[in-house]
Amino acid sequence: MSDIRVLYVEDDLETREELQSILELYVAELYTAKNGKEGLAFYKQYKPDIVVTDIQMPEMNGLSMAADIKIINPEQKIVVLSAYNDVEYLFRALELEIQHYITKPISVERLLNKLSEITGQMNLAREAEQNRKLLEQYKLLVDEKAIVVKVDLNGNITYVNQHFCELSGYSENELLGRHYLFGFEDAGQQDILDDLKQTVMEARKWKGLLKKKTKAGGIYVVDASVIAVADPDNEVEEFVALMVDMTEVYEKFERLALNLKQDLSEQKHYLREYERALEVGTSLCVIDTDGKIISANRNFSATLDYKVDELIGQSLWDLVQDCTDFKERILKKVGEQGFSSRIMKITGKGGLLRTLSTVIVGIHNQQGDIHSLMSLSHDISEAIQLNEDIIENQKDLIYVLGEVVENRSQETGSHIKRVALISEFLALKYGLSEEYAAMIKVASPLHDIGKIGIPDNILNKPDKLSDSEFQIMKKHADLGFQLLNKLDKPLIKMAATIAHEHHEKYNGSGYPAGLVGEHIAIEARIVSLVDVFDALSTRRIYKESWPDQEIIRYLIQNKGSQFDPELVDLFLENFDEILHIRDQFKEL
């Protein structure tokens, strides 16, 4: 943090002076203000990297100051110092998209850690921006050096660069709007074109040789890589082809094959196999079917901080983290579809951990058997780290709000920990991805956030609620959804869904919407079951805890009516492990 500048706004003199004396030791510049009005003036004058502010202050409170700062710089990093009774201010902070919170009394260690974390995020963001600019330069370089064509979903040409015009003999105006089949040499091309169309839609990429006619009637040959470009919803938007003029090489190849009287079918077979596998600028290694590394290029070895010679002979499977049945799953997928695409966590030299986006391609012999495997990878470690930091910011917000709900409803932190951990466990058993299950764990603590709008006399009533009181209590599902659904953040959106639907019942008799079966989101079905289980397992102000066997009978009786029957079966099949999780966080 030695290079960052911090603005600290606090009206309490003793607190301000104490933190000022500490922060000055760690940051490059520290500016202190006693209220929001003074803090805003300092912000305009000094443009600090990070703003740390109390909420309730005279003249102008911290959130009003933050709102004015966000108008000046929407990306400004702001840390809010809040107490548990500042709930309404927390939701105002949500609307301002403030992602960093520290509850009072302030822990100096936690504040320093938060400032260090934000500094790291800012550095990653700067690196990401530098990479974006570098990518733009790479795009310009590709357009300058390669032959480029874009095609829309109807097969019509939407863009060509000057190199393509020069090679084909057509002008840009003559090519735009024409179908991509325009100008193809017919002889022997139909099978290739059919394979291109099918493969690029299924595998999102295709590579091979294409033969086309020039405007003057001549023939030219290009080595083409066709990529399907997808939108954020993974729907294909267009296709981009990068081509290299192979006319001279192709003509020499044909003459050589003719002179040597070689079997062209064998030549074309291996040519297609290696053309399908090779990608320019990619980290590449070749392994045998047992996983032993046969060869590797410099990009791959440099990614793992090895020399090429040090990798030869090592087992790729041994370098991959969390690789239970990895070899078998890879070989099965490659055998079924020719390739396997996955994200791999791999250990480099000295324990260096990298995350690679990898395609493993099968290289076949003429008999169709897999001879070896080629791994083509891109290092996405920094992108993964940046995404995890963004998710961590949302986690901090959720846990702060979860603590507010606990204090409001007099429930313990152990309850939300148990619900979170058991929900994640059950989601994995259901077959959801690790990432989705982790999101459920983080979002589940807000399932009862709507209870902050329920009166204390109803929320903490030790006796059974009357009908009218229960109708008021039921409103917490809608209140929770309304509070959370304002923010377009993945974790908050999931938390809004859980808060809204965790009292729905599988047979449609639940509230607030009477949803039936799988119309209830899977995350809400999971949290609903786990929440009821934990409520029955523990003592509440209105009841004693139930014995485990009695809970099992209750779950079986309500299977298919209140709860998803498949989830109940999974729950009971793994009951001992669930009890172990519960007992780890059981109140004394």
Residue bearing tokens 């204390």:
456
What pLDDT does residue 279 have? 44
pLDDT above 90: percentage of residues in the chain? 25
Domains and their CATH numbers in the chain: 5-137 (3.40.50.2300), 146-250 (3.30.450.20), 277-379 (3.30.450.20), 383-584 (1.10.3210.10)
Reported as a single tens digit per residue, the pLDDT across 543-573 is 688 999 999 999 999 999 999 999 999 999 9
Q: Is the Cβ–Cβ distance between 213 and 185 less than 8 Å? A: yes
Any idea which of 93-97, 192-196, 372-376, 385-389 has the lowest mean pLDDT? 385-389
What pLDDT does residue 191 have? 77
Q: What is the DSSP letter of 545?
A: P
Q: Residue 371: which H helix or E strand, with range?
A: strand 370-379
Distance CA 386, CA 392 (A): 10
What does DSSP say about strands 293-296 and 283-287: parallel, antiparallel, or unpaired? antiparallel
Highest mean pLDDT among 21-35, 260-274, 330-344: 21-35
What pLDDT does residue 394 have? 58
Distance CA 430, CA 424 (A): 10
3-class state of residue 227 by DSSP: strand
What pLDDT does residue 273 have? 59
Q: Which of 368-371's residues contact partners 24+ apart within 8 Å by CB, and which partners?
A: 370/289, 370/331, 370/334, 370/335
Distance CA 571, CA 578 (A): 8
Alpha helix (H) residue ranges in 24-61? 36-46
Q: Is the Cβ–Cβ distance between 401 and 446 less than 8 Å? A: yes
What does DSSP say about strands 353-364 and 370-379: parallel, antiparallel, or unpaired? antiparallel
3-class state of residue 234 by DSSP: coil
**What do you get for the CA distance between the two ends of the chain, in Å?**
41
Cβ count within 10 A of residue 232: 5
What pLDDT does residue 588 have? 37
pLDDT of residue 372 exceeding 70: yes
pTM of the model as a whole:
0.41
Q: Specify the amino acid at residue 69.
A: I
The pLDDT mean for the chain works out to 82
Any idea which of 98-107, 130-139, 145-154, 355-364 has the lowest mean pLDDT? 130-139
Residue bearing the bigger pLDDT, 60 or 208: 60
Residue bearing the bigger pLDDT, 206 or 327: 206
Instruction: Name every residue whose Cβ is closer than 8 Å to that of residue 127 and which is 6 or more positions away in sequence.
Output: 382
